[in-house]
Amino acid sequence: MTPFKPFNRILLTGAAGGLGQVLRDALQAHAHIIRASDISPLAPSRGAHEEVHRCDLADKAGVLGLAEGVDAIVHLGGVSVERPFEDILDANIRGTFHVYEAARQQGVKRIVFASSNHVTGFYPQGVELDTHAQRRPDGYYGLSKAYGEDMATFYFHRYGIETVSLRIGSSFPEPRNRRMLSTWLSYPDLEHLVARALLAEDVGHSVVYGVSANRDLWWNNRHAAHLGYAPRDSSEMFRAQIERQPAPAADEPGSGFQGGPFTAAGPFPAV
């Protein structure tokens, strides 16, 4: 018997990236077909349960086609680090607009948007934030994610398209430095968070920090309790190995802010 899955087809943008490769597999539990898309080369389809489409998010007509026959979108695609504004513009700003317009035109009602902790990167480390704290983007990348969150609010109130914006901390197999002891999001917790973002009811536009149950958290998800996100992993098991790294100098650029080195990037040369 075919197992019950809540969605027929989910579109995954950024499927060739670090998190995209993880979610391409994990999303199989929730949809009969995963449509994996990226501007970069993708692993070929492994069967009828996977569709693979190369597409630049800057291509509006292409993105409209990507969303055809889709029930939900997990939008990870874009530039994922701090870069000059001109490099961010097409993928993150135009691209996110194209995803929302495509959702509206194709009748897609749920989007999971990969936002970032860098929308609040200019708060000092150690200060506890919740998702109602005023944003303090720490660069053009963080600004593009703040724009994406506002896009989600607009498309909900205007068109009823629901979004969960995930302010992802640092999602890698292991934390890599002291900052990530606070910001780490394990892959199993990421998979659980994306599942809750797809399945929770009446989310409107909800914002949640994507972080594991680390000891020294800077982010409190009290306003996102309705999502049912319950992380299980913690960076504590990596603390000893991380603390063997040389301590950062007090004047190391960005070390006092939650956004870390992103807060000290730029200015970029004029183009």
Ligand X SMILES: NC(=O)c1ccc[n+]([C@@H]2O[C@H](COP(=O)([O-])OP(=O)(O)OC[C@H]3O[C@@H](n4cnc5c(N)ncnc54)[C@H](O)[C@@H]3O)[C@@H](O)[C@H]2O)c1
Q: Which residues in this chain contact ligand X in the complex, by CB under 6 A?
A: 14, 16-20, 38-40, 56-58, 76-80, 90-91, 95, 114, 116, 168, 170-171
Which helix (H) or strand (E) element contains residue 78?
none
Rounded to a whole number, what is the distance in angstroms from the first to the last CA of the chain? 58
What is the smallest separation between the CB atom of 150 and ligand X, expressed in angstroms?
Answer: 16
What is the smallest separation between the CB atom of 54 and ligand X, expressed in angstroms?
Answer: 9
Identify whether 141 is a catalytic site residue: yes
Q: Which is nearer to ligand X, 29 or 43 (CB)?
A: 43
Q: Which is nearer to ligand X, 57 or 207 (CB)?
A: 57
What is the smallest separation between the CB atom of 173 and ligand X, expressed in angstroms?
Answer: 11
Please give the structure tokens belonging to residue 112: 């999971």
Q: How many CB atoms lie within 10 A of CB 87?
A: 16
Question: Are the CB atoms for 36 and 15 separated by under 8 Å?
Answer: yes
Q: Which is nearer to ligand X, 32 or 176 (CB)?
A: 176
Q: Which is nearer to ligand X, 46 or 54 (CB)?
A: 54
What is the smallest separation between the CB atom of 257 and ligand X, expressed in angstroms?
Answer: 15
- The one catalytic residue in 141, 147, 155, 229 is 141
Q: Which residue is nearest to ligand X (CB)?
A: 17
34: helix, strand or coil: strand
Residues with Cβ within 8 Å of 37's Cβ and at least 6 positions away in sequence, in order, are 11, 12, 13, 14, 15, 52, 53, 54, 55, 66, 77
- C-alpha count within 13 angstroms, C-beta hemisphere, residue 73: 34
- Cite the active site residues: 141
